[in-house]
Chains A and B, each alone.
Chain A
Amino acid sequence: MDVAIVLKILIAAVAAGTPFVYAALGELVAEKSGVLNLGVEGMMLVGAITGFIAMAKTGSLLLAVASGMTAGMLMAAIFGVLTLTLMANQVASGLALTIFGIGLSAFLGLNYTSIALPGIPELPIPLLSDIPVLGKLFFSYDILVYGSLALFLLVSWFLYKTRAGLILRGIGETPKSAHALGYNVIRIRYLAVLFGGAMAGLGGVYLSVAYTPVWVEGMVAGRGWVSLALVVFATWRPLRVLFGAYLFGAITIAQFHVQGLGIDIPSQLLSMLPYLATILVLVVISRDLTAIRLNSPASLGITYHPENQ
């Protein structure tokens, strides 16, 4: 294979991995605060269709992004009310959110199934993108890809370099102590959950507006679930999330390239790859019980309410 093909595959992998970057980093922040939101798939779907509608109606990417994020946040707010205020089981509530999101997005998208959007333009960074090979690989994506990298930097900085990030992580470990220190556990968890929703929504927008700019019912196709697995795979660390996202991006596009090389494998078998890879990755990571225990937020998935202690 020559450089051009490898380059093409790598660039495609970054694009395919970008929805994972958004959704998984958002979920990472929520999980770091101790909340497990299994509704990522549903939030991504609703974000995808809302962004798609906004784009189709106005042609403004900014509005598409804003409405997709808002929609994701609204979905996350439902989850927040259920699990944080009403103390419902997080697993059941997250599943409900996904089921609801699948239905809601299908409903909202009824009149948009036959429309194709123009996509969004690439924004090669001047000068830098002219560097041979590397310029193309690093500096010639659309704005949402750059945005996902900015998000990565922001999340890493926030979690590990700011006081607020420390508090958030503290709440994820022992909400009781954080409460005793005077922090409003419920409010901070709400913020983390809403952030997760906004990012899942944005990941959805990227899918429907930039990556494959048409609306297809259920087009997120399990990416929300893969994002959840990515957080485990990354043992709750932002840099590993980024790496995992691009790895899975590469696996998602592998099917097209394998067929392109003329290898005769049924397309369904190739489509299974990302899902099988997710299982494999989960097994490899989870096998190491100590690593999981050390890295996962100690209160993850456990309902906490200050008045309930």
Chain B
Amino acid sequence: MFVKIEPRPEPSRVMKYCSPLIAAVLMLISGLVIFTILGKDPAQAFHAFFIEPIHDLYGIGELFIKAAPLMLIGTGLAVGFRANIWNIGAEGQMALGAIFGGYIAIIFHGSSSHFILPMMILAGAIGGILWAAIPALLKTVFNANEILVSLMLNYVALLLLELLVHGPLRDPNGYGFPQSVLFSDSAMLPVLIEGTRLHLGVLISIIGVGVGWVFLEKSFTGYQLQVAGLAQKAATYAGFDYKKLIWIGMLAGGLAAGIAGVLEIAGPIGQLLPSISPGYGYAAIIVAFVGRLHPGGIFLSSLLMALLYLGGESGQMNLDLPSAVTGIFQGLLLFYLLAADFLINYRLRLTVRRGETE
């Protein structure tokens, strides 16, 4: 028997949806191998990593808390990715969202007004958009590579956040620790389900994914983005304004990341800290790809990615597994996806050398 690779006459729709599943399964298999290499009982480690974290309602709440920023940012990034506009700066845009939103929470500290939360979210959105506007502007005006510019701005944004919580935004009564005051209740997202930490931000994120779906699948601009991504020349001939699409693609990611940043500090964190994200901005890139740049897929892949984060924590607590394993899983997942995508355009056929009929 021989394996023969041959091009498909047309891309396989089935494989398009199967390859993320193949990738997830391959990642799980790799996980078992890694656990075994680390000298853990694979079954036990698998349980600790993938089952234990979500075996009760509280755990499911945690899963959605972690998935919320990933799905929201992933959807925002997908808008640009569809048109080959690569915003890699979500981590920094998230930090800017947190800074802007957190600033509102800090200056209105102690107030019980109902307007604080909406103002924070608005401010965070503006922060994220402004930060994403920098690479968009430099790309459209100076042709500067948006990947490198947006990525460099991540480092700048994280340093800015660190600077602010060490200085101007530090809690004056906080014994010099680099953190802001704990936000008042009015600046915190209410918990939705008793017995969990599941907060309003999760609902907002899911709504965000829905808005993204409508925009991408039902609007003309969404269609233009898709065309520009598949065949830029066709888009140009059709008279689509690519510069406009660059702006939309970049700012959508900034908007989503900025809001996600606010939801993090007004949700699980409750104050400004030097670091407000365990790499959600980068993980969301994987989420977007694994979700096939489709909001529905992104919703599902964000849950998988959130499980990897939770599994990393749980594996560390229960089995002394290093939490860095999470990063390896994330990378592997994307590798496997990119590899499995080969099967969209090609098929493997088992052939017997002799007696081959075709």
Chain A residues near B (Cβ < 8 Å): 38, 78, 81-82, 86-89, 91-93, 95-97, 99-104, 106-107, 110, 221-222, 225-226, 228-229, 232, 266, 268-269, 271-272, 275-276, 278-279, 282-283, 286-287, 289, 292, 307-308
Query: Are B147 and A282 neighbours in the complex by a CB distance under 8 Å?
Result: no
A278–B329 CA distance with the chains assembled, in angstroms: 31
Selected A-B contacts with CB under 8 Å, 7 pairs: A82-B335, A88-B342, A89-B338, A229-B152, A282-B148, A287-B143, A287-B144
Nearest residue (CB) in A for B322 is A110
Q: Name the one of B166, B331, B342 contacting A268, with C-beta atoms under 8 angstroms.
A: B166
Q: Name the one of B147, B148, B160, B326 contacting A103, with C-beta atoms under 8 angstroms.
A: B326
Query: Are A103 and B335 neighbours in the complex by a CB distance under 8 Å?
Result: no
Q: Name the one of A81, A91, A97, A107 contacting B328, with C-beta atoms under 8 angstroms.
A: A107
Query: Are A282 and B285 neighbours in the complex by a CB distance under 8 Å?
Result: no
A276–B160 CA distance with the chains assembled, in angstroms: 12
User: Is B213 at the interface (CB under 8 A from chain A)?
Assistant: no
Query: Are A96 and B138 neighbours in the complex by a CB distance under 8 Å?
Result: no
Given contacts A104-B331, A276-B152, 16 further A-B contacts (CB under 8 A): A78-B335, A87-B342, A88-B339, A91-B86, A93-B335, A96-B335, A96-B338, A99-B282, A100-B328, A100-B330, A100-B331, A222-B151, A232-B148, A269-B159, A279-B138, A279-B152
Note all chain B residues with C-beta closer than 8 A to A307: 7
Q: How far is the CB of B334 from chain A (nearest CB, A)?
A: 4
Q: How far is the CB of A267 from chain B (nearest CB, A)?
A: 9
SS class of chain B's interface: helix, strand, loop or mixed? Answer: helix
Nearest residue (CB) in B for A285 is B144
A275–B334 CA distance with the chains assembled, in angstroms: 27
Query: What 7 A-B pairs have minimum CB-CB distances, sorted nearest first?
Result: A103-B327, A100-B331, A268-B163, A107-B324, A96-B334, A106-B324, A88-B338
A279–B156 CA distance with the chains assembled, in angstroms: 11
Query: Are A107 and B331 neighbours in the complex by a CB distance under 8 Å?
Result: no
Query: Are B342 and A276 neighbours in the complex by a CB distance under 8 Å?
Result: no
Nearest residue (CB) in A for B149 is A279
Q: How far is the CB of B40 from chain A (nearest CB, A)?
A: 14
A183–B155 CA distance with the chains assembled, in angstroms: 42
User: Is B162 at the interface (CB under 8 A from chain A)?
Assistant: yes
Note all chain B residues with C-beta closer than 8 A to A266: 163, 166-167
Q: Name the one of A38, A92, A101, A226 contacting B331, with C-beta atoms under 8 angstroms.
A: A101
Query: Are B289 and A292 neighbours in the complex by a CB distance under 8 Å?
Result: no
User: Is B237 at the interface (CB under 8 A from chain A)?
Assistant: no
A106–B283 CA distance with the chains assembled, in angstroms: 16
Query: Are A268 and B160 neighbours in the complex by a CB distance under 8 Å?
Result: yes
Note all chain B residues with C-beta closer than 8 A to A282: 138, 144-145, 148-149
Query: Are B322 and A107 neighbours in the complex by a CB distance under 8 Å?
Result: yes
Note all chain A residues with C-beta closer than 8 A to B155: 221-222, 272, 275
Residues of B in contact, count (CB < 8 Å): 45
Q: Name the one of A228, A268, A308 contacting B7, with C-beta atoms under 8 angstroms.
A: A308
Q: How far is the CB of B135 from chain A (nearest CB, A)?
A: 9
User: Is B332 at the interface (CB under 8 A from chain A)?
Assistant: yes
User: Is B313 at the interface (CB under 8 A from chain A)?
Assistant: no
Known: A99-B331, A283-B142, A287-B143. A268 touches B153 (CB 8 A): no
Q: Name the one of B142, B147, B162, B338 contacting A86, with C-beta atoms under 8 angstroms.
A: B338
Known: A88-B338, A92-B334. A269 touches B328 (CB 8 A): no
B85-130, CB < 8 A from A: 86, 88
Known: A93-B338, A268-B160, A276-B156. A100 touches B332 (CB 8 A): yes
Q: How far is the CB of A2 from chain B (nearest CB, A)?
A: 32
Q: How far is the CB of B227 from chain A (nearest CB, A)?
A: 17
A92–B293 CA distance with the chains assembled, in angstroms: 12
Q: Name the one of A87, A102, A275, A289 contacting B152, with C-beta atoms under 8 angstroms.
A: A275
A101–B328 CA distance with the chains assembled, in angstroms: 8
User: Is B286 at the interface (CB under 8 A from chain A)?
Assistant: yes
Nearest residue (CB) in B for A86 is B342
A95–B334 CA distance with the chains assembled, in angstroms: 9
A271–B21 CA distance with the chains assembled, in angstroms: 42
- Can you list, as one digit per residue, whether each of B316-348 has a CB less than 8 Å from chain A (1) or not (0)? 000000101111111110110011011001000
Note all chain A residues with C-beta closer than 8 A to B144: 279, 282-283, 286-287
Q: How far is the CB of A256 from chain B (nearest CB, A)?
A: 16
A103–B334 CA distance with the chains assembled, in angstroms: 13
Q: How far is the CB of B156 from chain A (nearest CB, A)?
A: 5
Nearest residue (CB) in B for A88 is B338
A92–B23 CA distance with the chains assembled, in angstroms: 15
Q: How far is the CB of A37 from chain B (nearest CB, A)?
A: 12
A271–B166 CA distance with the chains assembled, in angstroms: 15
Query: Are A104 and B327 neighbours in the complex by a CB distance under 8 Å?
Result: yes
Note all chain B residues with C-beta closer than 8 A to A91: 84, 86, 147
Q: How far is the CB of A23 from chain B (nearest CB, A)?
A: 14
A108–B325 CA distance with the chains assembled, in angstroms: 10
Note all chain A residues with C-beta closer than 8 A to B143: 286-287, 289, 292
A200–B238 CA distance with the chains assembled, in angstroms: 42
A268–B86 CA distance with the chains assembled, in angstroms: 27
Query: Are B163 and A225 neighbours in the complex by a CB distance under 8 Å?
Result: no
Note all chain A residues with C-beta closer than 8 A to B156: 272, 275-276
Best-buried of B155, B326, B329 by chain A (most CB within 10 Å): B155
Known: A272-B156, A286-B142, A286-B144. A103 touches B331 (CB 8 A): yes
A82–B337 CA distance with the chains assembled, in angstroms: 10
A195–B341 CA distance with the chains assembled, in angstroms: 26
Q: How far is the CB of A156 from chain B (nearest CB, A)?
A: 24
A102–B327 CA distance with the chains assembled, in angstroms: 7
